Chains A and B, each alone.
Chain A
Amino acid sequence: MTKSEFEPKIVGFLCNWCSYAGADLAGVSRIQYPPTLRIVRVMCSGRVDPVFILEAFRSGADGVLVAGCHPGDCHYLSGNYKLQRRVSMLKKVLEQFGLEPERLRLEWVSASEGDRFATVIKDMTEKVKKLGPSPLNNGG
């Protein structure tokens, strides 16, 4: 597989209340974004266990996006803050596995930000494309 035709696989853990709805809106409003995203819905970004993220990489993801409500907007008050701490910790862990920390991304996307959702996916797809396929994938 050459780099130019490489289409990354990105697993997106989306909060039910905001980003999942934002993705929906992007769809309804027919906003174009690359078909790289594989959506997994969770009730709150705070639900995203480090194990889920590691498992996603192990199963062949080239990137993982976790998207939740904007700070102060979490349905459960602080789920997104808790996630933020977990993600910074995980980035260090990823480095030890030989994965670029940029492959894991945290974003705040509200239910009304369909366009922003699309922009995030486009941007992340670009960046992961540049990084190339996940080293775990190649080795596997």
Chain B
Amino acid sequence: MTVVSSAFKNKRRLPPCRAACPAEVNVQGYMALLQQGKFKESVELIRKSMPFPAICGRVCFSPCQDACSRKNIDQPVGIRYLKRLAADIEREQGRIKPDAVPKTHNEKVAIIGAGPAGLSTAYELAKLGYPVTVFERMPEPGGMMRYGIPDYRLQKYVVANEIAYIQDLGVEIKTGVEFGKDIEIDTLRNEGYKAIFIANGTQLSTKLGVPGEDLEGVFPAVEFLRDVSLGKTVDVGEKVAVIGGGNSAIDAACTSLRFGAKEVTVLYRRSRNEMPALPHEVEAAEKEGVKICFLVAPKQIIGEEGRVKLIECLRMKLGEPDASGRRRPVPIQRTEHTYGVDTVIPAIGQMPETSCLPSILLDERARAISVDQLTLETKIPGIFAGGDVVTRPASVIEAVGAGKRAAVSIDRYLNGANLRTGREEEIEETTWVKDWEKITRKSERYTAPHIDIGRQKVSFEKADELLTKIKAVATFEARRCLECGLCTECLGGEELCEADKAVVDETLCIGCNVCAIVCPFEAVKKNETGVAQVNEDLCKGCGTCSASCPERAIGMQRFTDSLILTNVAATLGEPT
């Protein structure tokens, strides 16, 4: 990064939720729409930022919600739940079917891997009018969303429905095509693809590196979950030990229970605080009966006649922090102990398949693709990469963020534009609250009433009534949003919200300064000539200045005085 470029950093002010989201989803905006009961519109607003509202509403680790300012008062707004609800309502009432975007560009783009990273790039480029083809070797697109995360957390039809939206836009997805076997960089180039995005994820399970790993009855988590998703029946026996502490460990554990295991134990070498899995998933797993043992690591797997029988472990303690900032587990000598098991599921991480990739693309240790962090361009011009294959196993929303960035780069590359100009940004979190102590009214999070209708049939009237109730609750929850960002944040030009703006009639202003005193956001100041000036970025449109101006020199753009007065007259004119 050169000095010159950093001097031109774009500075943007965003509400904390949006600033925290790798895909920069406009949370404040869809909260504003939900407040008005506009469910479909809110889903469409999310789709402006990313194509997976229902998926993220289920499995996202929701950094937005962790960042939400409302936590300073009571609890963060239930953003993930609201996203899921809005997306589910939209799907169930008939998903919006977008028209295919006309292809205004000739340059074809090839994408390797139909996981969230690849699909998001395709989505963004299709919206820009590029012909895009996604090549996927599995029978169905979706990547880990389809073949990793189990059905009880993320239903296959939900994934299929959101991918169908991307296909509606004109993206072509070719499944059953393997990169490195059926296609290569050269063949793609010969077929006229001008840019390639590689997003093949991390499909290989990391080896435990202990004796006995090749015994029958050892199923690495990724393969295990993939087999389950492919509909294969997997016999896990009665006692299962899962090694690891991430989402895939928890998913493998819960899935084993569903396959008839009686006793499932997750062995994790650090403590609960360091677990990378989503806390509510861990909690749910424990409720289902999964046992979690902390500070233990396997030393060897012992078999009998080639089949797993026992697993020998060592106790651990936490030492100094390692490169990841988490405290490194150190084995305690002579604490060997054994568990009897039928199946061992290692879930300690995943690695990219690098054999299909030219070595020039890989990092020094050949463990990931190395790219320019800002542009995601690899060492070969025109070839970009992103998602897990670059970051190592991360999350859906991070993969989406990478996909979006790659799309910007690819568009620039194909137009011969500089890939970097203006992309370095400094994001500042904003909120209008200056003093959290001042906000004294607390409100508990509104959660939908737990409705257990089981499998009984409900009448249309009853169903309608329930839906109305759920929608009302969601509307209230959305109203807990403090709208930290600038007024225009929620619209981003959507013209969906009814934000107002103050406008000064300079010929009427006498420079009394009342407006500047009453404005809660210090959005009005007098200029050199003594005339009031409204700072558009700061004005949130309350109209307090307008109501206080003795000269009636400040008007509002939307709720003008005359509109309000007309409304007054109109309501009084109505027959009782």
Contact = CB atoms under 8 A, between A and B. Distances in A.
Partners in one complex: yes
Interface of A: 7, 9, 11, 16-17, 21, 25, 28-29, 35, 38-44, 46-52, 55-56, 59-61, 70, 72-73, 75-79, 82, 86, 110-112
A56 B564 CA distance: 10
Nearest to A47: B543
A78 B548 CA distance: 13
A73 B439 contact: yes
B565 interface: yes
| Closest 3 A/B residue pairs (Cβ) | A38-B571, A47-B543, A76-B542
Contacts of A51: 561
Contact of A44 (B438, B544, B565): B544
A46 B540 CA distance: 12
Contacts of A73: 439, 441
B523 to A, nearest CB: 10
B543 A40 contact: no
Interface of B: 35, 432, 438-441, 443, 468, 472, 475-476, 479, 483, 498-500, 518, 520-521, 540-544, 546-548, 556, 559, 561, 564-565, 567-569, 571-572, 574, 576
Nearest to B475: A21
By CB atoms of chain A within 10 A, which of B440, B476, B521, B542 has the most? B542
A28 B576 contact: no
B568 A75 contact: no
Contact of B441 (A9, A41, A72, A82): A72
A118 B359 CA distance: 72
Contacts of B564: 40, 42, 47, 52
A88 B499 CA distance: 28
Contacts, number: 110
Nearest to B434: A77
A101 B564 CA distance: 23
B547 A43 contact: no
A131 to B, nearest CB: 17
A82 B515 CA distance: 12
Contacts of A43: 498-500, 541-543, 556, 559
A52 B572 contact: no
Nearest to A51: B561
Given A59-B572, A82-B518, A47 B559 contact: yes
Contacts of A47: 542-544, 546-547, 556, 559, 564
A108 to B, nearest CB: 10
Contacts of B520: 76-79
B479 A21 contact: yes
A41 to B, nearest CB: 8
B432 A77 contact: yes
A48 B542 contact: no
Contacts of A17: 479
22 contacts: A7-B576, A9-B572, A17-B479, A21-B479, A38-B571, A38-B574, A41-B559, A46-B542, A47-B556, A49-B561, A50-B547, A52-B564, A55-B568, A56-B572, A61-B572, A72-B438, A72-B439, A77-B438, A82-B518, A86-B547, A110-B441, A111-B479
A28 B572 contact: no
A38 B546 CA distance: 23
Contacts of B547: 46-50, 82, 86
A52 B571 CA distance: 13
Given A42-B559, A47-B556, A86-B547, A76 B518 contact: no
B476 A40 contact: no
Contacts of A35: 576
Nearest to A21: B479
Nearest to A111: B479
Contact of B476 (A11, A56, A111): A111
Given A72-B439, A78-B520, A82-B548, A55 B565 contact: yes
Contacts of A60: 572
A9 B576 contact: yes
Given A44-B543, A47-B559, A52-B568, A76 B521 contact: yes
Nearest to A8: B576
Given A40-B564, A51-B561, A72-B441, A25 B472 contact: yes
A47 B574 CA distance: 24
Contacts of B443: 112
Given A43-B499, A55-B565, 18 more contacts: A11-B571, A25-B472, A29-B472, A40-B568, A41-B559, A43-B500, A46-B542, A46-B543, A52-B564, A52-B565, A60-B572, A72-B439, A72-B440, A73-B439, A73-B441, A76-B540, A76-B542, A82-B548
